């Protein structure tokens, strides 16, 4: 090893130590928040635990194998499809002009949107991942293969046809070898060229077969580089030229006594037999299609992240009120209806706060957004206050809205599941890994004697994705809430095997009141905004009293129609299910006595508790008590 190489190696090791050592130091001193950035020591510790005991999804080696299987299959399918379609469109001008705007439009779609679509259509299994991987590879290979076909020298094609080559022979012996440089470049698999055998072969072909020389009126410098190009493209180019030469030898032996020289053909840098790219003619149509697609995707995505419908009041009155932002983990679910109900009733403004609600599709992101400062409050489960404390974050629940999870575990039709003991060796769906439904699932399994390795959990979401998972037999059972429960029953793909909503069901499966949906905020933010917090709790306590004294039909009439009548549920079904499950909501916003201890027992049995927890700091009843007193309710 030379001194220079040794110096480079030492410098590289120094940079590595500096980066990871600084990372560990800054997070240990809390200069950088370890909750969001983690620690190298924690990563190593977790990785070692995965190696020893496996992940939540099973063996780490099985996860690696599955990922590699999806990636390899997707890669080869994408490469094969990209080459075939690229060559076909490069050879057939009419076909390329017809399909070019559609290919451009599809290529403009965000890959993450297509990933969700593939999951809905193909389910949560390996098929959707393979198709997504193939889709990612396809366009890279396709455009390079297409361009490679375009760049084939027209003289080579003309010479081959004069020798009597068929279209298939031209493609096999001329087009494909010449386009291989482009295709290989798309795979990022080429190595730096060495001025060895490949260059000498290229020089021989160009020196002794001058009819193979490429003329380019726009790039005259190519002739000076025809013998030995020192770039990384030279080696593949040499191999391609040699393959073309071998093809010509076969043709000349069968069709003619000698090769036809270039002087017998009209010199053309790009023959008309090689069609120009057809994408230019369709550019306008492609642009219009891409714009329409982008607008559609933007409209769809805004539906999940845009602020929910606000109550009445002028913009002038809003300006005079303090503004609070709150993200809810699925605002259109019945278990989270009080947050939007308060908005629809106009209670936030009535009690002196301008509330901006936003929606998060899964149960994990809302509290994370609150903890990171993206929003002031989160409509999420109380259990997250315990999880945050274990991770060094002080989060407090200032109002408790429900005393039961409001969930049901739906099992696939015909499975006859009556106990969690039957989950052994099966896959169970939860909203998201790490969510409240995930911890409840782990608790139920542990309570009935199952270990984490005895079953598998996957994030199946809710709505259409949960339905698809059951319908395609990707999961045996899945924990979800209304209106997904009603949709599953209506479609006949599942039945409610475990009731975690009604008082009787919660008592049977969980052992008592299980506080879930609450109003979470950072303790530091609460301490700095006590008056504003009181206004928010006043509005929600008034809402909970209104909810307890009105019928399910009254509630449905106040909520936005998109909540009560949509692709999953009709308004009559929504009213019927809410009438059955309305007892899950607490009328006064107070934490039930003994509720936190039940949550702690669930978290411990689920294996979530990894250190000491001061339960008394995870919630406060002071704001709800004041609200009930000021509003004239018996709290």
- Write out the DSSP string of 152-212: S-HHHHHHHHHTT--HHHHIIIIIHHHHHHHHHHHHT------SSHHHHHHHHHHHH-GGG
Please count the residues of the chain: 635
Decide if 619 contacts 591 (C-beta within 8 A).
yes
Query: Which residues on neighbouring strands pair with residue 395, listed in sequence order?
Result: 522
pLDDT at 210: 36
User: What residues contact residue 538 under an 8 Å CB cut-off, 6+ apart?
Assistant: 351, 352, 627, 630, 631
- pTM of model > 0.75: no
Q: Of 414, 404, 385, give the one whose Cα is nearest residue 495.
A: 414
Give the domains, in start order, of the chain with CATH numbers.
54-152+274-300 (no CATH), 153-264 (no CATH), 318-405+514-594+613-630 (3.40.190.10), 407-500 (3.40.190.10)
What is the largest distance, in Å, between two alpha-carbon atoms of the chain?
108
Helix, strand, coil abundance in the chain, percent, nearest 5:
60, 10, 30
pLDDT at 215: 37
pLDDT at 199: 38
Q: Is the peptide bond before 544 cis (omega within 30 degrees of 0)?
A: no
The SS3 call for residue 271 is coil
User: Cα–chain-centroid distance for residue 131?
Assistant: 15
Q: How many CB atoms lie within 10 A of CB 632?
A: 7
Measure the CA–CA gap between 225 and 223, rounded to whole angstroms: 5
Q: Of 376, 477, 383, 393, give the one whose Cα is nearest residue 434.
A: 383
Measure the CA–CA gap between 627 and 537, rounded to whole angstroms: 7
pLDDT at 298: 42
pLDDT lower than 50: segments of the chain: 189-307, 309-316, 362-363, 635
What burial class does residue 380 get, using C-beta atoms within 10 Å of its C-beta: 0-12 exposed, 13-18 middle, 19+ buried?
A: buried
pLDDT at 28: 87
pLDDT at 275: 40
Decide if 526 contacts 375 (C-beta within 8 A).
no
pLDDT at 374: 87
Query: Which residues on neighbouring strands pair with residue 478, listed in sequence order?
Result: 410, 429
User: Cα–chain-centroid distance for residue 274?
Assistant: 41
pLDDT at 56: 61
Measure the CA–CA gap between 69 and 125, rounded to whole angstroms: 12
pLDDT at 15: 95
Measure the CA–CA gap between 43 and 538, rounded to whole angstroms: 43
What burial class does residue 162 get, using C-beta atoms within 10 Å of its C-beta: 0-12 exposed, 13-18 middle, 19+ buried?
A: middle
Measure the CA–CA gap between 611 and 601, rounded to whole angstroms: 14
Measure the CA–CA gap between 130 and 74, rounded to whole angstroms: 5
């Amino acid at each position: 090893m030379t001194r220079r190489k040794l110096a480079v190696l030492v410098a590289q090791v120094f940079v590595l130590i500096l980066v990871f050592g600084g990372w560990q130091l800054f997070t240990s001193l809390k200069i950088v928040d370890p909750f969001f950035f983690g620690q190298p020591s924690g990563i190593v510790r977790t990785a070692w635990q995965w190696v020893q005991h496996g992940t939540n999804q099973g063996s780490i080696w099985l996860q690696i194998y599955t990922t590699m299987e999806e990636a390899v299959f997707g890669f080869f399918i994408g490469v094969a499809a990209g080459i075939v379609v690229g060559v076909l469109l490069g050879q057939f001008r009419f076909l390329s002009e017809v399909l070019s705007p559609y290919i451009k439009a599809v290529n403009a779609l965000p890959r993450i949107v297509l990933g969700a679509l593939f999951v809905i259509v193909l389910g949560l299994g390996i098929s959707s991942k393979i198709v997504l991987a193939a889709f990612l590879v396809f366009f890279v290979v396709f455009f390079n293969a297409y361009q490679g076909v375009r760049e084939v020298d027209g003289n080579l094609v003309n010479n081959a046809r004069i020798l009597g080559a068929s279209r298939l022979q031209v493609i096999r012996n001329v087009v494909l070898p010449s386009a291989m440089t482009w295709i290989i470049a798309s795979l990022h698999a080429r190595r730096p060229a060495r001025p060895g055998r490949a260059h000498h072969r290229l020089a021989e072909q160009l020196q002794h077969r001058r009819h193979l020389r490429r003329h380019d009126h726009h790039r005259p410098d190519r002739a000076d580089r025809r013998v030995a190009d020192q770039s990384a493209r030279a080696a593949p180019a040499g191999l391609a030229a040699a393959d073309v030469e071998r093809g010509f030898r076969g043709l000349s032996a069968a069709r003619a006594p000698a090769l036809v020289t270039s002087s017998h053909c009209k010199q053309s840098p790009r023959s008309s037999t090689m069609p120009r790219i057809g994408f230019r003619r369709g550019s306008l149509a492609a642009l219009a299609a891409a714009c329409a697609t982008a607008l559609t995707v933007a409209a769809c995505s805004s539906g999940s992240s845009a602020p929910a419908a606000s109550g009445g009041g002028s913009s002038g009155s809003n300006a005079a009120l303090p503004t609070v932002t709150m993200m809810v983990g699925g605002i259109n679910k019945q278990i989270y209806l009080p947050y939007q109900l308060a908005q629809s009733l106009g209670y936030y403004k009535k009690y002196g706060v301008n509330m901006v609600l936003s929606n998060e599709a899964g149960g994990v992101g809302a509290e994370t957004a609150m903890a990171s400062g993206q929003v002031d409050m989160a409509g999420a489960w109380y259990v997250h206050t315990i999880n945050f404390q274990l991770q060094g974050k002080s989060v407090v629940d200032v109002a408790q809205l429900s005393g039961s999870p409001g969930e049901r575990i739906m099992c696939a039709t015909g499975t006859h599941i009556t106990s969690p003991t039957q989950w052994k060796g099966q896959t169970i769906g939860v909203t998201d890994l790490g969510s409240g439904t995930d911890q409840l699932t782990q608790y139920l399994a542990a309570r009935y004697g199952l270990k984490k390795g005895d079953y598998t959990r996957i994030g199946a979401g809710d709505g259409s994705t949960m339905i698809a998972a059951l319908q395609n037999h990707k999961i045996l059972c899945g924990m979800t809430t209304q209106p997904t429960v009603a949709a599953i029953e209506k479609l006949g793909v599942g039945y409610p095997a475990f009731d975690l909503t009604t008082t009787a069901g919660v008592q049977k499966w969980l052992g008592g009141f299980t506080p879930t949906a609450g109003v979470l905020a950072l303790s530091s933010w609460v301490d700095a905004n006590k008056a504003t917090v009181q206004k928010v709790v006043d509005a929600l306590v008034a809402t909970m009293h209104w909810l307890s004294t009105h019928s399910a039909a009254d509630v449905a009439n106040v909520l936005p129609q998109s909540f009560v009548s949509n692709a999953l549920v009709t308004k009559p079904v929504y009213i019927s299910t809410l009438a059955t499950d309305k007892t899950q909501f607490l009328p006064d916003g107070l934490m039930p006595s003994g509720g936190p201890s039940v949550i702690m027992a669930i978290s411990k049995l689920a294996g979530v508790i990894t250190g000491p927890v001061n339960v008394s700091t995870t919630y406060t009843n002071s704001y709800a008590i004041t609200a009930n007193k000021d509003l004239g309710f018996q709290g």
